[in-house]
């Protein structure tokens, strides 16, 4: 008699970032985490290691709220009071390190072409959860901007648009490759295809954090997305086995987690 399958967890905006959802589903961020250091990502999933929430992450959430869901700014304020001044003449105003995000949003709103890729509340779905499978592994994704009839867009606030040096390969990469945005959007495109049978083009809507913010809409060629999908399909089964405790993760010995948990057992001779 065939064993009944456990019911699949339904992913929504409320539970998307829950531990239960992270354990049941792989995501692009998890996948990229495993690629950098398997041990660190496994420790994050089990709760053994909790990385510090960075200012950049909070800035990104604020930018998404200001541009995509401005009606939720009060909710954002209540959920993140530490971003706002709590006393004095500036009470209620954004703290200095987050005022730049407001400037970035204001700059974007000045450009009609840029804003057209962010869609509108009538035909666009914001922060849209989607699930599916890659290489038999359950994946989840949260799409910043999903225009069902035309495209998938991810909103990014970044330092600048200049190439970035990658020590692991001793060369410069464009910012999309360096930060793995092509991997993220390959996942999103594939999950949408599974649910709709449509292959939609994907774009990055970027705004820089420079003194004078730059803006740009960047496309990713389909052959790049297809290649990244093949890489995901090759590695995801291994990462799932690590999540399930079937195999031990490899330590990179370079990241913050590996440095914190490092145990010496030998003397290093530098000469």
What domains can be seen in the chain, in order of their start residue?
19-258 (3.90.320.10)
d(C-alpha 245, C-alpha 240), whole Å: 9
Q: What digits encode the pLDDT tens for the residues 150-163?
A: 999 999 999 999 99
d(C-alpha 229, C-alpha 13), whole Å: 25
pLDDT at 62 over 90: yes
pLDDT at 266 over 70: yes
d(C-alpha 143, C-alpha 125), whole Å: 8
pLDDT at 2 over 70: no
d(C-alpha 167, C-alpha 112), whole Å: 38
Q: Could you tell me the pTM of the whole model?
A: 0.91
pLDDT at 114 over 50: yes
For residue 1, what pLDDT is reported?
42
Structure tokens at 154: 């991810």
pLDDT at 177 over 70: yes
Q: What digits encode the pLDDT tens for the residues 216-245?
A: 999 999 999 999 999 999 999 999 999 999
For residue 117, what pLDDT is reported?
97
DSSP label at 99?
H
Mean pLDDT of 161-186: 94
Q: What proportion of the chain, given as a percentage, has pLDDT over 90?
A: 79
d(C-alpha 233, C-alpha 99), whole Å: 41
pLDDT at 5 over 70: no
Q: Phi/psi class of residue 30: alpha, beta or left (left: φ > 0; alpha: ψ in -120 to 50)?
A: alpha
β-pair type (151-158, 137-147): antiparallel
d(C-alpha 94, C-alpha 85), whole Å: 6
Mean pLDDT of 30-36: 96
- Give kind and range of the element (H or E) at residue 22: helix 19-24
3 pLDDT band (50/70/90 cuts)? very low
Q: Please, which residues have CB within 8 angstroms of residue 78's CB and are 6 or more apart in sequence?
A: none
pLDDT higher for 82 or 185? 185
d(C-alpha 130, C-alpha 128), whole Å: 7
Reduced to 3 states, what is the DSSP secondary structure of residue 114? helix
pLDDT at 89 over 70: no
Report angle CA 138, 14, 100 to the nearest 5 degrees.
Answer: 105
For residue 8, what pLDDT is reported?
77
Q: Please, which residues have CB within 8 angstroms of residue 202's CB and are 6 or more apart in sequence?
A: 151, 152, 153, 154, 185, 188, 189, 219, 220, 225
- Give kind and range of the element (H or E) at residue 4: none
Q: Please, which residues have CB within 8 angstroms of residue 174's CB and are 6 or more apart in sequence?
A: 163, 164
Mean pLDDT of 129-135: 96
Average pLDDT across the chain, whole number: 92
């Amino acid at each position: 008699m065939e064993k009944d399958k456990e019911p699949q967890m339904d992913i929504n905006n409320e539970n998307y970032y829950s531990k239960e959802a992270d354990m049941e589903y792989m995501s692009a961020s998890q996948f990229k985490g495993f690629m950098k250091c398997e041990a660190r990502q496994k420790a994050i999933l089990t709760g053994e290691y909790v990385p510090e929430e960075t200012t950049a992450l909070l800035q990104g959430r604020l930018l998404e709220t200001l541009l995509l869901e401005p009606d939720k700014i009060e909710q954002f304020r209540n959920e993140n009071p530490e971003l706002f001044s709590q006393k004095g003449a500036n009470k209620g105003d954004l703290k200095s390190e987050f005022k730049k995000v407001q400037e970035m949003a204001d700059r974007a709103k000045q450009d009609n072409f840029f804003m057209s890729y962010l869609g509108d509340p009538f035909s666009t779905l914001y922060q849209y959860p989607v699930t599916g499978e890659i290489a038999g592994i359950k994946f989840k994704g949260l799409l910043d901007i999903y225009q069902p009839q035309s495209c998938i867009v991810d909103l990014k606030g970044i330092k600048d648009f200049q190439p970035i040096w990658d020590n692991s390969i001793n060369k410069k990469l464009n910012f999309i490759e360096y930060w793995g945005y092509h991997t993220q959007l390959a996942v999103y495109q594939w999950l949408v295809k599974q649910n709709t049978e449509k292959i939609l083009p994907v774009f990055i809507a970027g705004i820089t954090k420079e003194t004078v913010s730059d803006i740009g809409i960047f496309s990713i060629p389909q052959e790049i997305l297809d290649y990244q999908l093949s890489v995901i399909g090759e590695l995801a089964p291994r990462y799932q086995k690590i999540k399930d405790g079937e195999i031990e993760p490899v330590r990179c010995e370079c990241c913050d987690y590996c440095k914190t948990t490092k145990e010496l057992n030998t003397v290093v001779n530098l000469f």
